[in-house]
Amino acid sequence: MMGSRVQLMSMRWAACLSLLASLPVAVQADPGIRAQYRCLGRFDAVDVTAFFFNQAPAELVLLEGESATRLPQLPSADGGRYGSADQEFWIKGDRARWSRAKGVVMQCQPPSRV
């Protein structure tokens, strides 16, 4: 009786250890870099908040009003380039160019420089 109880406890420990081993290793969350932009188009101005996440997969999250857009990082020879099929956000220094759907292009800079 005692042998079967020890064997059962050993099986439980083995199950717990295998479950722990299958869990992903905890990684410190990438807090990201936050930047504010005022983007000027031909007839309008839009305030956006950009969160840049540099850990793989590197991406940008743009907040405009109540909408959020995730854009993966794209290859770039100069500056940081993020985009998807219908839009692109390209930064260099503290300025950016935001090409949106339907050919709308906006020039962005920190609100303090507008």
3-state secondary structure 52-102: EECCCCCEEEEEECCEEEEEEEECCCCCEEEECCCCEEEEECCEEEEECHH
What confidence tens digit (pLDDT) does each residue in 4-31 have? 544 534 444 444 334 334 444 444 556 7
CATH of domain 33-113: 2.40.128.200
- Rounded Cα distance between 112 and 95, Å, is 12
What confidence tens digit (pLDDT) does each residue in 81-109 have? 999 999 999 999 999 999 998 888 999 99
In this prediction the pTM is: 0.70
What confidence tens digit (pLDDT) does each residue in 71-81 have? 999 998 888 99
pLDDT value of position 10: 47
pLDDT value of position 19: 36
Q: Where are the domains positioned within the chain?
A: 33-113
